[in-house]
Structure 1
Amino acid sequence: MMDRLRIDRFRIRPYDLPLRRDWRSARGGFQRRRGWLVCAETDGAIGFGDCAPLPAAGTENPESAESALSNACACAPGRSVGEILEMLDTGYAATPAARFALECALLDLLSQAEGVPLRRLLARDASDAVPVNGILGALASLTAADLQQAAEAGFRVVKIKVGVEEPASEIGRLKALAPFVPTDMRLRLDANGAWGFDEACRIIDRVAGLPIESLEEPLRIPDPNRLHALQERAGFPLARDESLAGLSADADLGGLGVRRIVIKPAVVGGLRSALDLSRRAATADIEVVVTGIVESAAGLWPTAQLAAATGSALPHGLATADWLAADLGVAPRLTGAHLSLSDRPGSGFKPHPDPNPE
């Protein structure tokens, strides 16, 4: 099917979506998500992808992404899905967000043609629901009421951005909030590379005994030996995330220095690369969490399908739809702390009507 299904054309449609509130992290922030809805068309069927580059997360810049998308639009007509996927594999390594979007559109089409949901194109035994963590934003603005609301919504792991304020202030705030964390809830902290090694050692020591589920990207310079030393010191998993950008396909995952990796398909170059990375991680006894980069529903759907295909039972960082004040389509349905995926062929994404049709 991959070599028989031929693409009539790619179309790209720019979008600009406001957030409900500012997204803040140690690497900066944003108030809007801008990108392109990618549409792959053949014989009346359409597959969708989302290109929303975010250089702070490890992707290319928007200009490079747009150039890569334009090149694909020019090259695609008449080629098979297999030929275009090979083109992406060999020529789009420097533009992972564009590669992710184009691949998603192709695999959406292919899974529609095969009559299976995208997750089962990736893995036959993929689950129908994806566990997710709550996403509460920066620690500085977090309240006890936010924790209670997350618990009532069913979340047992909530993600909090740290490294935004001074360490002493954040440690004090964590300790002040700890009594309000429900007994069955854990905090997933994300420092986004905010700290030096000595500073990270002090912080890990100071938060010992708090209900922490994991800590992502503690070091400004993610040296594997120093990460390993921190991991030995911490009583919870450390994780690498944006520092995986550019990781070679044959890298020794056991040498990353941490117990967990966070996989963003728009950073590692697509669903297939992300799935391969997750399988290599499992072989190396490394935990896997899948997250997005606050994409539209067009990006969230295939990323959720990927998470289901990995088989990882950890909560994934995919409960981001509520951060957007507007979207390109309906996002996957959140039921408690799970995203529910339908058996409909394809990725599951269906766009809202285009306000400016051709």
Structure 2
Amino acid sequence: MSRIVGFRLDPYALPLKTPWRTAAGTVRLRHGWLVRVEDEDGGVGLGDQPALLPDQEQGGLETRLRHQGDALLGRSLGEALDWPDLCFGIETALLDLEAQRQGVPLRRLLSPTAEDRVKVNAVAPLDGIVAMAEQGFGIVKVKVGLAPWPAEVAALRRLNLPPGVMLRLDANRAWSRIEAEGFLAAIVDLPIESLEEPLREADITGLASLQSTTPIALAIDESLDQIGVDSLLIDPPVRRLVLKPALLGGLRRTLSVAASARAVGYDIVVTTYIESAIGVAAVANLAAALDPEARMAHGLATSALFVSDVAEPLPIASGVLTLPASPGLGLSLKVSN
């Protein structure tokens, strides 16, 4: 098998159209690193390693990436893919190379049953929900917990949504138990698909108790690391897990966790970590592999948040993302850094 002869890491800084609020802080400029791996046959694989939010200086992560990339030089592609604890961006680049070598899209390297299209949710502020619904998105994600919850309930009730459109709400751990209960009781008759991270103090017991009070699916996202995957698989406290490959340890690790979680009853949504078009393409290929039936809308429509990007984003129309048929990721960079 061909050996790795080149490794390159190029930092990027992508401006956001509007500031993006996360559980870790507000982001205006998204940082990360483009990963390029080259084999002795001239093949080039691409990956994206986004900085940890809230996007502060990540010297430690960059050092880890460089050490790991240098350690793979001279090794076969198979040996490199077996390297323990590969960073997301490096694993993606290696898988891109391997998929190109086999002549298949990355998604079919991950699963032979992967499809070419993935359902996605839109992302919008409260005053932009209707516009996204009118563009054909069946699921629109909106942040809540930014104002007193009664005011947000009133705003949600004022919406005039097209029939069949559902809202995916994300509270980013904004509320106490009492506030979360009040909010959930007040929206139970609205078209709510799920509510992510309602509790400020997230633990298995508290989440399970809150889920028992509502028919709305609760979801765990950023609390996954705090609670731990193994604990969540023993006795699911909520109905859904939101998985970010950039944080979970890569595409293959996420695929494994998703399979285990589904086996105990979870619904699975995969989402980006607000990375470049290269990272979005990697996560989209994963979504196509783990959800060929398109049962869920995944969090992949984040390229629209950027003023500019490192590659042409994958096309999305009426809530469906279409993946390229070419081998590997199927994307190329706009410019060579």
TM-score by length of 1: 0.88
The answer (yes or no) to whether the contact 2:278–2:310 under 8 Å persists in 1 is yes
Matched, 1:194 2:174: yes
- The correspondence of residues 305-316 of structure 1 with structure 2, limited to 5 A, is 305-311=285-291, 313-316=295-298
- The correspondence of residues 240-251 of structure 1 with structure 2, limited to 5 A, is 240-245=220-225, 250-251=230-231
- The correspondence of residues 18-37 of structure 1 with structure 2, limited to 5 A, is 18-37=15-34
Matched, 1:284 2:264: yes
**Pair 246,201 (structure 1): closer, same or farther in 2 beyond 3 Å:** closer
**Equivalent residue number for residue 157 of structure 2:** 175
Deviation (angstroms), 1:330: 0.9
Match for 2:120: what amino acid? V
Unaligned runs of 5+ in 2: none
**Equivalent residue number for residue 340 of structure 1:** 322
Deviation (angstroms), 1:60: 10
Match for 1:319: what amino acid? A
Matched, 1:230 2:210: yes
319-328 vs 16-25, which deviates more? Answer: 16-25
**Equivalent residue number for residue 324 of structure 1:** 306
Find the residue that maps to 2:167 and give its secondary structure.
strand
**Equivalent residue number for residue 165 of structure 1:** 147
- C-alpha separation between the residues in 1 aligned to 2:262 and 2:56? 28
- C-alpha separation between the residues in 1 aligned to 2:232 and 2:133? 38
Deviation (angstroms), 1:334: 0.8
- C-alpha separation between the residues in 1 aligned to 2:5 and 2:256? 29
Residues 158-206 of structure 1: per-residue CA shift (max 9 Å, x gap): 00011122223222222222xx122211110001111122221121112
196-205 vs 212-221, which deviates more? Answer: 196-205
- C-alpha separation between the residues in 2 aligned to 1:81 and 1:208? 51
Deviation (angstroms), 1:293: 1.2
1:206 to 172, 186, 190: 186
Matched, 1:349 2:331: yes
2:275 to 285, 288, 295: 295
**Equivalent residue number for residue 96 of structure 1:** none
- C-alpha separation between the residues in 2 aligned to 1:60 and 1:125? 39
- C-alpha separation between the residues in 2 aligned to 1:61 and 1:236? 38
- C-alpha separation between the residues in 1 aligned to 2:5 and 2:78? 14
- C-alpha separation between the residues in 1 aligned to 2:308 and 2:56? 24
- C-alpha separation between the residues in 2 aligned to 1:350 and 1:51? 16
- C-alpha separation between the residues in 2 aligned to 1:295 and 1:26? 16
- C-alpha separation between the residues in 1 aligned to 2:240 and 2:81? 29
The answer (yes or no) to whether the contact 2:25–2:53 under 8 Å persists in 1 is no
2:72 to 59, 69, 76: 76
Unaligned runs of 5+ in 1: 93-98
**Pair 234,334 (structure 1): closer, same or farther in 2 beyond 3 Å:** same
Q: Percent identity?
A: 42
77-86 vs 230-239, which deviates more? Answer: 77-86
Match for 2:5: what amino acid? D
2:129 to 124, 147, 150: 147
TM-score by length of 2: 0.94
Matched, 1:47 2:45: yes
- C-alpha separation between the residues in 2 aligned to 1:235 and 1:206? 12
Deviation (angstroms), 1:247: 6.5
Match for 2:46: what amino acid? F
**Pair 272,346 (structure 1): closer, same or farther in 2 beyond 3 Å:** same
- C-alpha separation between the residues in 1 aligned to 2:296 and 2:84? 30
- C-alpha separation between the residues in 2 aligned to 1:246 and 1:165? 25
**Pair 276,269 (structure 1): closer, same or farther in 2 beyond 3 Å:** same
- The correspondence of residues 2-17 of structure 1 with structure 2, limited to 5 A, is 4-17=1-14
Residues 69-88 of structure 1: per-residue CA shift (max 9 Å, x gap): 11023212101223223333
Deviation (angstroms), 1:36: 0.6
**Pair 106,26 (structure 1): closer, same or farther in 2 beyond 3 Å:** closer
- C-alpha separation between the residues in 1 aligned to 2:277 and 2:233? 31
The answer (yes or no) to whether the contact 1:55–1:61 under 8 Å persists in 2 is no
Find the residue that maps to 1:33 and give its secondary structure.
strand
Deviation (angstroms), 1:269: 0.8
Find the residue that maps to 2:99 and give its secondary structure.
helix
Instruction: Give the RMSD, CA atoms, in angstroms.
Output: 1.9
- C-alpha separation between the residues in 1 aligned to 2:213 and 2:52? 32
Match for 1:253: what amino acid? L
- C-alpha separation between the residues in 2 aligned to 1:168 and 1:38? 45
**Pair 251,84 (structure 1): closer, same or farther in 2 beyond 3 Å:** farther
- The correspondence of residues 237-276 of structure 1 with structure 2, limited to 5 A, is 237-245=217-225, 250-276=230-256
Matched, 1:62 2:42: no
